Each structure stands twice: as C-alpha cells, then as structure tokens.
C-alpha cells in the first residue's frame, strides 16, 4: 500500500493513496458523488482540456466524460506518495464515437494537511491520442510530428 503521513492535532496520521486509486478504478456515474471522501472542496483539477477549481466542477468534467465515452476503464499501473504529493501512472480505455480509444497518462496529486487531495493534474498526449484521430486535423498533426522527429 502507498501511504502518506500528515500531522493532525499533534498526531501523525496516514492516508492510503490506494483508496483514491480504488475509487478512480471503479469510478462511474453512480459513484461520482463519493469523490468528496478523497478531494478537498477547493480541489484544482487540470487535464489537457480543462482547468477547474471545486468539487462540483471536477464532477461536471467526469460526468461529461461518461456521457461522451462508453465502456470506460481506468487502471492504475504504478503509484507513489511523498510527504505532500503523489503520482499515479494509468491506462485509460473506452469507446469514443463507437471506436476503441486507449492511452496512458500520469496524474500528479497534491495533498493538504488533512490528507485530502487539493490538486489533481493529469498529463497525457492529447495531440497523439485525440487530435490526430480527427480527420484532416489528425493528418496535419501527424505530418508535423513526423517532420519534427529526429529519426
């Protein structure tokens, strides 16, 4: 288990990052309201398309994801936590407009003094994994990527 320690009322407490991982891996429209167990009310969530503050705004992003993408699967492959931050590596898969869609990413997490997550920042290659799959735009981006590549 990945544990992070914090001090509360002169007592050392532990946060099990695995609980957040389990929550994310089982995330569904039905479990979304339980996000407040893991994140602070003023959470900042950022990914290649969004940058929001607050639980309700984060929930709106996930709700939209469930509306647009079907058969979602989120699997964490690696994780670690330090004193005030952590990192998870993951694989996301689903069906976007009926087509299989899968990509890998990393999330950087920042914890407050109570162990709640105050920042969750997702990093993944939106150009390769999303924009390059759009007709014409994808062809242009793939051509640019190929031109800029060293080999």
pLDDT (tens digit per residue) in 126-144 = 655 554 555 555 556 566 6
Q: What is the DSSP letter of 127?
A: H
Beta bridge partners of 94: 101
The single residue listed with the structure tokens 């390769």 is 128
Of the candidate ranges 4-18, 98-112, 124-138, the one whose mean pLDDT is the lowest:
4-18
In sequence order, which residues have a C-beta less than 8 Å from that of residue 139 and are 6 or more positions away?
Answer: none
Give me the pLDDT at residue 139, please: 55
Predicted TM-score (pTM) of this structure: 0.77
Q: Which two tokens stand for residue 85?
A: 């931050």
Pairing of β 39-46 and β 51-53? antiparallel
pLDDT category at 8 given cuts 50, 70, 90 is very low
- Choose among 6, 3, 24: nearest CA to 122: 24
As a whole number of angstroms, the distance between CA 146 and CA 11 comes to 55
Please give the order of strands across the beta sheet that includes 99-111.
51-53, 39-46, 117-123, 99-111, 85-96, 69-81
Give me the pLDDT at residue 147, please: 73
């Amino acid at each position: 288990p990945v544990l992070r320690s914090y001090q509360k009322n002169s007592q050392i407490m532990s946060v099990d990052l695995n609980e957040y991982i389990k929550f994310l891996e089982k995330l569904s429209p039905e479990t979304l309201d339980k996000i407040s167990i893991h994140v602070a009310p003023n959470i900042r969530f950022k990914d290649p398309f969004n940058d929001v503050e607050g639980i309700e705004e984060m929930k709106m992003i996930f709700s939209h994801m469930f509306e647009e993408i079907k058969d979602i699967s989120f699997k964490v492959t690696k994780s670690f936590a330090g004193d005030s931050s952590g990192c998870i590596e993951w694989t996301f898969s689903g069906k976007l407009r009926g087509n299989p869609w899968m990509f890998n990413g990393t999330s950087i997490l920042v914890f407050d003094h109570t162990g709640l997550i105050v920042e969750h920042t997702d990093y993944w290659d939106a150009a390769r994994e999303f924009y390059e799959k759009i007709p014409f735009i994808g062809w242009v981006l793939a051509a640019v990527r190929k031109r800029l590549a060293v080999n």
